[in-house]
């Protein structure tokens, strides 16, 4: 069966686009579930990107088209969508409007190579690309940090995911050649090199997740907030030793222990450790997510275990919000594709359907 070619902007809207912008997905190397606890994170951008083309609508409605979904949505400014990709896009536009920037009715065309549902922040890439496009089209005086902040609030207020700011900051500020160390409380950041002699490998477990309202993600955040209140601090970032959490009831003790130990792993990594030590920190991070935070699943645990025992792999872990999705590994330079082939052959032979994502 031959698939019909994907329609372009002109075919959908009848005119050519007047602006175009893009933004990458991200993979998080260390610092999982720490951003909404005011903690520390260490992501990098991935090669896959979301592209947004924009033009002016000829009526009173916004018109959004997602090429990869072949889905078109038309929206009046006072009638927000209840779900789907349009809720993220509309949220970005509406928050700019609320901030005092008049936004006329727009046509938006979205095309993405960032995989959906695997923990690589496809939603943040769409938000940042949308906001960059609107900024360019309307010449708005908003910087890259503000774009990240608006994108985060769009996801919270309009898509129902009470997320931290890591994904949007990574999509807005990170690149594929370095790591972005970010203090999510102060937004202070540093660009750091990868460990010497190492590169990144990202594999999809084949088990997709959904982190929107109703998922365990929002529950984990609520548990962390309860733990912080019981400990008398603003956020778990303010606790630096896991011993301080031992008075907490279950499951709050384990949730807090993960966040505190994960922050400490990030802070050690950014001192410039060897690839071997960085990998050990990644392995410990996965164990903590699996056992204390309880966000892993059997397929991901299997994939990570195979990675961790493969020659040339320094360390591996679940990446993203959890409940399925991708794993990230730190591997010897020049060996990523060979390692991926070996790992996926073993992983898929036991009934799973994994695939390589990075290097693309």
The 10 Å CB-count burial string (b at 16+, else e) for 248-279 is beeebbbbbbbbbbbbbbbbebbeeeebebbb
CA distances to 37, 53, 125, 330 from 133, rounded to whole Å, are 30, 7, 12, 33
Beta-bridged to residue 331, according to DSSP, are: 199, 313
Q: CA 25 to CA 44: how far, in whole Å?
A: 9
Does residue 175 carry a catalytic annotation?
no
Nearest to 25 by CA among 285, 204, 192: 204
- If residue 97 lies in a helix (H) or strand (E), which one and from where to where? helix 85-98
Q: DSSP string spanning 161-206? A: ----SHHHHHHHH--TTSEEEEETTT--EEEEPPPTTEEEEEEE-S
Which entry of 35, 167, 204, 292 is annotated as an active-site residue?
Answer: 167
CA separation for the pair 177, 167 (Å, rounded): 17
Q: Identify the three-state secondary structure at position 112.
A: strand
Q: Residue 56 and residue 94: Cα distance in Å, rounded?
A: 16
Contact partners, residue 270, CB within 8 Å, separation at least 6:
40, 42, 181, 190, 192
Give the strand order in the sheet containing 313-318: 313-318, 326-332, 198-204, 355-358
**Contact residues for 286 (Cβ-Cβ < 8 A; gap 6+):** 296, 304, 316, 317, 318
List active site positions. 167
């Amino acid at each position: 069966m031959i698939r019909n070619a994907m329609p372009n902007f002109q075919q959908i809207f009848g005119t050519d686009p007047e602006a175009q912008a893009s933004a990458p997905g991200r993979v998080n190397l260390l610092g999982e579930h720490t951003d909404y606890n005011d903690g520390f994170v260490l992501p990098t951008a991935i090669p896959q990107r979301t592209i947004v083309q924009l033009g002016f609508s000829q009526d009173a409605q916004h018109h959004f088209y997602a090429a990869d979904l072949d889905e078109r949505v038309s929206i009046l400014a006072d009638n927000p969508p209840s779900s789907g990709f349009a809720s993220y896009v509309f949220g970005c536009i509406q928050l700019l409007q609320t901030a005092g920037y008049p936004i006329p009715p727009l046509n938006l065309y979205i095309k993405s190579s960032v995989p959906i549902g695997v923990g690589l922040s496809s939603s943040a890439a769409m938000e940042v690309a949308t906001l960059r496009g609107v900024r360019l089209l309307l010449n708005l005086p908003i910087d890259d940090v503000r774009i990240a902040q608006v994108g985060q609030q769009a996801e919270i207020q309009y898509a129902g995911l009470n997320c931290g700011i890591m994904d949007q900051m990574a999509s807005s500020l990170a690149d594929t050649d370095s790591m972005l160390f970010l203090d999510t409380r102060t937004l202070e950041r540093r660009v750091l090199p990868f460990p010497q002699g190492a590169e990144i490998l990202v594999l999809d477990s084949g088990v997709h997740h959904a982190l929107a309202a109703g998922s365990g993600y929002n529950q984990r955040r609520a548990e962390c907030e309860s733990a912080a209140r019981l400990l008398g601090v603003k956020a778990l970032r303010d606790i630096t030793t896991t011993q301080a959490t031992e008075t907490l009831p279950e499951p709050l003790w384990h949730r807090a222990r993960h966040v505190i130990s994960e922050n400490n792993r990030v802070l050690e990594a950014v001192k410039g450790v060897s690839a071997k030590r960085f990998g050990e920190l990644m392995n410990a991070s996965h164990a903590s997510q699996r056992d204390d935070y309880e966000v892993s699943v059997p397929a991901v645990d299997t994939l990570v275990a195979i990675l961790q025992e493969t020659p040339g792999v320094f360390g591996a872990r679940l990446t993203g919000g959890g409940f399925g999705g991708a794993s990230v590994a730190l591997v010897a330079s020049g060996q990523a594709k060979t390692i991926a082939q070996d790992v996926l052959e073993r992983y898929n032979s036991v009934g799973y359907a994994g695939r390589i994502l990075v290097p693309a």
